[in-house]
Structure 1
Amino acid sequence: MTVKLSISVPDDVAAYLQSQGNASAAVTAAVRRVLPEARRTRQREAAQGFGKHLRERTPQQVDADTALVEASNDIALRGSEW
């Protein structure tokens, strides 16, 4: 979800944001740098969700994932010659 905001900033900050291709992304990145706890919370939640996903996989899914990883490694290490 996103929210549109209208803010006032000093001239130097405005010049920097106007020079960016995506001012929203620049502001978001800067704010997230000063809010490390919120970022850590999001990362922790994402890691917990991924761990839950991994724990819920069936043995067949685990085997299929393992085969895919091994095949990808073979291609990466030996080239793409069949």
Structure 2
Amino acid sequence: MPVLFRYKGFRFLLYSNEGNPREPIHIHVVKDGIDAKFWLDPVRLAYNDGFNAQVLRELMEVAEANAERIKGAWDEFFTD
């Protein structure tokens, strides 16, 4: 699972097994065993495994600010 970048100890990453057919573009955010997933087009929460609302808002802002970077990495990583 490639880590695209880190922010305040959060890892923004892609999982290599994303289903068949592959899910739409998204990013996983992990810290201290807690995971959240954000769809990117548009940026919105897909699921949350324990982050509070304040943290989720901040993570969503970071995902929005880095959406093009994430999309580019997604395309590069999943190119067949």
TM-score above 0.5, yes or no: no
**Structure with greater strand percent:** 2
Larger gyration radius, structure 1 or structure 2: 1
**Structure with greater helix percent:** 1
Calculate the TM-score normalised by the size of structure 1.
0.28
Calculate the TM-score normalised by the size of structure 2.
0.28
Higher relative contact order (CA 8 A, sep 6+): 2
